[in-house]
Amino acid sequence: MATLPLKKISLFIVACAIAIALLVWGITPTPVPVDLIAVKRAPMDVTIDGEGHTRVRDVYAVSAPISGRLRRVKIRVGDAVRANRTVLATIEPASPQFLDARALARAQAAAKAAEAAQALARAELERVRAKLTFAKTNLRRARDLFAKHVISERQFDQAKLDVTIQGAAEDSARAALNVRTFELKTARAALIAPTDDPEGQTTCCVEVRAPVDGKVLRLLRQSEGFVERASPLFEIGDPTRMEVVVDLLSSDAVKVRKGASVLLDGWGGQHPLEGVVRRVEPYGFTKVSALGIEEQRVNVIIDFTGPKKTWAPLGHGFRVEAHIREWRGEDVLQIPIGALFRDGKDWAVFVDVNGTAKLTKVNIGHTNGRAAEILGGLADGVQVVSYPSDRITNGTDIVAR
């Protein structure tokens, strides 16, 4: 009977010990799993990034030299052309315009008036010729009479003068007839109806030739039709002379220097391309962003420096992403930008000290969007927490994933 209470007491003690152990286990904090990364020394680049496009350095716009009817263009985009030898297009005289009823009536009346004027001029010429014939007959008679001393010398001179005057009158009448004849042709030309028959043209044609060696970049007009003088037809350039244009914010453009090295990626190739800044244009322009914000932009011109075969697949207007080097350090103490966070006005990180997160303030220098230069507060090789969550505070137990 005395052993029964002892067993119950033993079971009670064991149950209490288990409960206490579970309670201690439940209130003991579990280490937070984190990603750790070491502070290291390595080369570091600070770049100004922007999106740009390729373009042929010298693009020649070919326009119509005269107004007329453009024949259908047979050349295509990408075709090679030779300066002053390749015929790009042919322009022939345009057909006359249609005449409405009023204009047609006026043109017909003008033609009839010109016909009448021509007939009048022809009659005047015949009248003058008759008078000239009479004057010549009278001169022969006067010459015979003067030789027989029947008329005076003055009368003989008068007969010669009459012949001269009538000869000049005949020339004048003939010229007047020519004028009326050409006026009639002009009036009849206004009655010529439009036609699509090129054989009906008396003049043909003007050939538009390539101004330089290169390739056709754009075909602005292909179908046959009327074109005005100076209408753009083609754009021609040499794709072996390529450059890159990147428009940067003016606040970034002032940091770019001529001769700065550039890496170009995002163009579709396996490896980035190399380039160098040739010019920062001195003129800015306003551009509206996708968010509807007006921004002042500046064009930066970049030349390729690598072998031509590396960027040969690029054409006019291809998209690229440019990374213009602003600063470079060869041996820089740095950490990924994701390890940094703000602690008041200071930058800070969580350092792994024997499984415990320790809040450590740091001084940073250059940043490039991927890493930050450490000027003070950390040593090489120290492990820091990458992208710390809100579960981590100073003194939190942590464990590496």
Provide CATH 2.40.50.100 ranges for the chain: 59-93+201-237
Task: Give the strand pairing for 32-38 and 341-343.
Answer: unpaired
Homologous superfamily assigned to 48-55+239-330: Efflux pump adaptor protein, beta barrel domain (2.40.30.170)
pLDDT of residue 200: 52
Q: Report residue 374 as tokens.
A: 């450490």
pLDDT of residue 25: 61
3-state DSSP call for residue 325?
strand
Distance separating alpha carbons of residues 77 and 70, to the nearest angstrom = 18
Q: What confidence tens digit (pLDDT) does each residue in 151-170 have?
A: 888 888 898 898 899 889 98
Q: What is the CATH number of domain 59-93+201-237?
A: 2.40.50.100
107, amino acid identity: A
337, amino acid identity: I
Task: Give the strand pairing for 261-265 and 371-376.
Answer: unpaired
pLDDT of residue 102: 86
> Residues in the chain with pLDDT < 50?
1-2
Provide CATH 1.10.287.470 ranges for the chain: 101-190
- Phi/psi at 358 (nearest 5 deg)? -115, 125
Q: What is the CATH number of domain 29-43+331-400?
A: 2.40.420.20
pLDDT of residue 89: 94
3-state DSSP call for residue 101?
helix
Q: What is the dihedral of CA 325, 328, 334, 337, to 10 degrees?
A: -10
pLDDT of residue 187: 84
Q: Residue 307 burial (CB < 10 Å; 0-12/13-18/19+)? A: exposed
Is the separation of the CB atoms in 243 and 57 below 8 Å?
A: yes
Provide CATH 2.40.30.170 ranges for the chain: 48-55+239-330
pLDDT of residue 56: 95
Could you identify the residue written with the tokens 């015949």? Answer: 126
- In 3D space, the residue among 264, 246, 265, 240 whose CA is nearest the CA of residue 316 turns out to be 240
pLDDT of residue 2: 47
Per residue, the 3-state secondary structure of 143-212, as one string, reads HHHHHCCCCCHHHHHHHHHHHHHHHHHHHHHHHHHHHHHHHHHHHHHCCCCCCCCHHHCCCCCEEEECCC
Is the separation of the CB atoms in 352 and 84 below 8 Å?
A: no
Distance separating alpha carbons of residues 279 and 269, to the nearest angstrom = 25
pLDDT of residue 83: 93
Distance separating alpha carbons of residues 181 and 121, to the nearest angstrom = 9
Distance separating alpha carbons of residues 74 and 224, to the nearest angstrom = 10
Provide CATH 2.40.420.20 ranges for the chain: 29-43+331-400
Q: What is the CATH number of domain 101-190?
A: 1.10.287.470
